[in-house]
Amino acid sequence: MSIDPFESNSANIVAIEGGYSAPYLYLLNSDSETSTRRTQPTAYTQRKLSAVSHAIRAGYGQGRGDAFKPWIRIRRNFSSPTSHQVFDSVGLHTRNHHFLSALEFHTALLVSYVGASELRECLALWPYEHPHPNSGLDDDVDARLDAVPGLIEIARKAGIDHGCFVGTTVPYIASIDLMFRIRLGRTWRLLGISCKPKDITEKSTRAQERIELDRLYCQSVVSVQQSHLA
């Protein structure tokens, strides 16, 4: 799917004026802007990849309940002085959550109020096959869960460019904004939510693609679980 760089620039202006954090700005980058840089990694890029490697080893984007560590954490250099980031609890865990926008925070408050038992914000959607996101709480349940296809495969089937870290051929590690555990009847289910502001998504084809990848990932999680339990 082609991307209009003017749409991307327009959406970036909206994001910056609204005080959205750096991950939102990356979301809106045109692939055409980064593809020409995938030759010789710069010193900055090498430091970035080193930081990514360290984050994976440290368990970011992984864990359950209070032990979960969000893939993207609030940092001082992530925002403008008018940023809408929130570092707070919603009453589900003893830890505080890293919300990258007020929209994420308000959505989390609402879903928590109606009965969610767990929230993982910025849950990593790993590019390659990985354990089911519902695993990690019960060994018996884990034994019945198949692995989930990586986001690269999901993107390829959808005809969407997965994307790489700037200046490299290393696949970017995406994340879904909010992943809840909720009760549906007598069973516990996962509920994934993409919290992308309408004024941004309407101006960015790439943002729409990333929301579609979130949807397809959640769909693949359900398909894997249902096909195994059938």
Q: What is the pLDDT of residue 36?
A: 42
Q: What is the DSSP string of 40-68?
A: S--HHHHHHHHHHHHHHHTTTTB--GGG-
Looking at domain 5-229, which CATH architecture does it have?
A: 3-Layer(aba) Sandwich (3.40)
To 10 degrees, the CA torsion angle through 143, 144, 150, 153? 140
> Against a cut of 0.85, is the pTM above it?
no
Q: Using one digit for the tens of pLDDT, what is the confidence trace for 141-185?
A: 889 889 999 999 999 999 999 988 877 888 989 999 999 999 888
Q: Using one digit for the tens of pLDDT, what is the confidence trace for 33-81?
A: 444 444 566 777 788 788 888 899 999 999 999 999 999 887 765 554 4
Cα angle: 115, vertex 120, 122; to 5 degrees = 135
Taking the C-alpha atoms of residue 202 and residue 16, their distance in angstroms, rounded to an integer, is 15
